[in-house]
Amino acid sequence: MNRKRTGMRAILAAVAALAVLTTACGSSNSASGVPEDGSPLPVSIMSMYFTPEPPGPDNVVVQEFEKRTNTDLNITWVSPNSYGDKVNVTLASGDMPDLMLVDDAFSAQLRTMVQQGAFWDLTPYIDDYPNLKKFPEESWINTKQADGKNYGIPRVRPVDGGSFLFLRKDWLDNLNMDVPQTTDELYETLRAFTEDDPDGNGQNDTIGFTGLVTQSNMGTYSGIVSAFTQNNGDWKDVDGKLVNVNLMPEMREALEWLSNAYADGLISEDLAVLKESQTKDQLNAGRAGASQNTVEAAWEPTEAQRKSNPDADFLPLVSMNGYVNKDGGFFGMFVIPKSVPEDKMKKLLELMDYGASEEGGTLASYGLEGVHYDEENGIKTVTEQAKADIVASQALGQVFIQYDPYLRAYRSGMPQDVFERNKQIIDERAKISMPDKAIGLYSETNVSAGPELGKDIQDIKTKIVLGKLPLSAWDEFVEKLKTNPDLQKITEELNEAYAQRQTAS
């Protein structure tokens, strides 16, 4: 009996020892969350993808990324169509991955969780990661929370080269016209594009500008409006205070310009119901001479037109009335929950820093040279193998991103001369571009009442442009808007947040 007990104790001791050994050797073990034996760091990630299918765990580039970074990546890929809902559910559950892309860096839910200490404050650590530090200053400033601290790694985007006006340079040449610099000149350009047979086919089949408005904003016409207001977004800094641009006389001037252009048939007749795909069809078919999009997007209709007209050329404008928008420098951010130990958090920053390097960023977005892409004169051309292996900036490149100020200068198939011209346009824009002063500012009233108020404002704008209401109706509306209690409260709250941000920075 004693021998049996002794034997059983020995077996139990051996099992316990084996369990300890197994735990020590094969896990992220200790409180640090980092394997002590040098085995791959387990990393859970949630992000979105824009490819037809997401990369799987056996994806050749994911595996190569793991090899180079000594990690074991467990990536949950979510369609952008349902990403916002997935974020909300995941945040509410409290069961978050190590790295999680939040597409709205300033949602009420995220703000509350930041205040509750749910995420790592990364502000003291960023200087130790040189590639993340290379992100534009705007990317970090514009993702700061109310306390002036960074609780996420920006999914970096260029600050210049964003959505603005572009037009047919070859049509200008055909008509012996210069590139318009002012809205008065632009009006005359669109008139000529509509009435003076710019394509020389002897038919009255062209329109000056194609674009749409939405229920909440001016859509494709926002660049024209911004040229009048000299402002990016709905809020303008006037003597250190934010003022809603709809209360300013420049907005009236913009609406008058657009309503005249509509009455003269220079812009889309069906702008209130037009779909984006339809505007692209008009441009690609050579029926419209101008629109608005990012710098590199102007290549799409150019390429389509050059199949039948080798001289076709859509030129992105540097500015209008001396004005052009500057973008925020981010599209969401990756947060790290405070449940992740500090040592592992630093390893995650190290991982993201590698992803922001030239080597890491190229691997994530383009894969392996000679297999997934070929490079000549600084231009990377993707291969069919890249498509087969789901290698693209729209997949793993959504997680690991190298900052490229000329990201919006190039599209696949673009010739060198267009690429170089686009880079010059971006450089010129960078000298004068203006940011949105209200990015990230929080107003509780704006969350609750802002969307409906915005729809009301846009509804009357659209009716005025379409000629359904006279311009005097806008004057009456603005007088009421000035005393609207919701707008007054939003203005007060945003200015409080604006002052707090300036103090914090």
CA angle, 45 then 153 then 26, to 5°:
35
Domains of the chain are 41-158+329-405 (3.40.190.10), 164-324+434-504 (3.40.190.10)
The string of pLDDT tens digits covering residues 116-155 is: 999 999 999 999 999 999 999 999 999 999 888 999 999 9
Q: 240-267 pLDDT, tens per residue?
A: 999 999 999 999 999 999 999 999 999 9
The 10 Å Cβ neighbour count of residue 57 is: 11
Task: Over range 419-446, report the average pLDDT.
Answer: 95
Structure tokens at 269: 């007749």
Using CA atoms, how far apart are residues 464 and 457, in angstroms rounded to an integer? 11
DSSP E strands: which ranges in 298-358? 314-316, 330-335
> What single-letter DSSP state applies at residue 502?
H
Is the per-residue pLDDT at 10 higher than 60? no
Per-residue pLDDT tens over the stretch 448-478? 999 999 999 999 999 999 999 999 999 999 9
Q: How confident is the model at residue 376 (pLDDT cuts 50, 70, 90)?
A: confident
Whether 366 and 372 have beta carbons less than 8 Å apart is answered as: yes
Query: Distances from the Cα of 367 to the Cαs of 43, 78, 137, 436, 477, in angstroms?
Result: 20, 21, 28, 35, 55
CA 450 to chain centre: 22
CB 119 within 8 A of CB 151: yes
Q: Copy the structure tokens of residue 82.
A: 């349902």
Give dist(CA 31, CA 109) in Å, integer: 29
Question: Which tokens is 200 given?
Answer: 């020389």
What global pTM score does this model have? 0.86
Give the integer Cα–Cα distance in Å for 316 and 411: 14
